[in-house]
């Protein structure tokens, strides 16, 4: 059995007017391209595109975030364990602080995470080194005892401290905690 040639297949599919079919296809493609580029889809932003609609929404969100008020940054200074508890995010007029490895960070800009009702609110107002190292939210781990951590857990804690150093201002040190060398 012999296979038909390409020309025979095209002729059988579109008949003698195959040139007209190709021209119609190219014209339809050109019209579609002009339409897509002239009138972008409102869903284009979801796949990396951009639209006036998505730019407007982004601008509105940016303005709303700028309107959100944060207390003044915490003045630099060391705090005792008891003093640190005051900055647990329950009072929105005060900054939100947490400590890791005895270093106090002002995490007020992350109030959605560390403030009242946030998923990591348990970390606020304490030295949460153990919980960070163990990647735990358990109440029994919300403390600064790192004496029995494995090397891998210490590495995790060090990674968290680097992230905090990059993202949040350092306020001071925890006095009277496990990391206090005085």
Strand partners, 100: 103
Q: Domain check: are 100 and 147 in the same one?
A: yes
Number of domains present in the structure of the chain: 2
Question: Over the stretch 7-28, which tens digit does the pLDDT of each residue have?
Answer: 777 677 766 676 777 788 889 9
pTM higher than 0.95 = no
Q: Domain check: are 20 and 88 in the same one?
A: no
Q: Is the dihedral of CA 128, 133, 135, 137 positive or negative?
A: negative
Q: Domain check: are 51 and 118 in the same one?
A: no
Domain residue limits at 86: 79-175
What DSSP assignment string belongs to 85-130? HTTSSSSTTS--EEEETTEEEE-GGGHHHHSTTSTTGGGTTSB-HH
CATH code for the domain in which residue 136 is found:
3.10.120.10
> Which two structure tokens, joined as six digits, stand for 177?
């905690």
Q: Domain check: are 101 and 161 in the same one?
A: yes
φ and ψ of 148, to 5 deg? -110, 20
Q: Is residue 74 part of a domain?
A: no
Residues making up the chain, counted from first to last: 182
Question: Over the stretch 62-98, which tens digit does the pLDDT of each residue have?
Answer: 766 655 666 677 889 999 999 999 999 999 889 999 9
Q: Domain check: are 91 and 171 in the same one?
A: yes
Q: Domain check: are 113 and 156 in the same one?
A: yes
């Amino acid at each position: 059995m012999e296979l038909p040639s390409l020309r025979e297949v095209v002729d059988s599919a579109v008949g003698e007017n195959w040139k007209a079919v190709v021209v119609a296809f190219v014209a339809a493609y050109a019209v579609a391209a002009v339409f897509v580029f002239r009138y972008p889809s409102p869903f284009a932003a979801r796949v990396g595109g951009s639209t006036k609609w998505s730019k407007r929404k982004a601008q509105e969100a940016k303005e709303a975030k700028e309107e959100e008020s944060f207390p003044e940054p915490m003045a630099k200074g060391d705090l005792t364990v008891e003093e640190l508890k005051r900055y647990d995010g329950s009072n929105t007029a005060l900054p939100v602080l947490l400590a890791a490895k005895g270093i106090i960070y002002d995490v007020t800009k992350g109030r959605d995470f560390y403030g009242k009702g946030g998923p990591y609110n348990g970390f606020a107002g304490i030295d949460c080194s153990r919980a960070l190292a163990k990647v735990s939210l358990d109440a029994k781990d919300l403390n600064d005892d790192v004496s029995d951590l494995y090397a891998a857990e210490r590495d995790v804690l060090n990674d968290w401290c680097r992230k905090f150093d990059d993202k949040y201002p350092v306020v001071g040190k925890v006095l009277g905690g496990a990391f206090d060398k005085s």
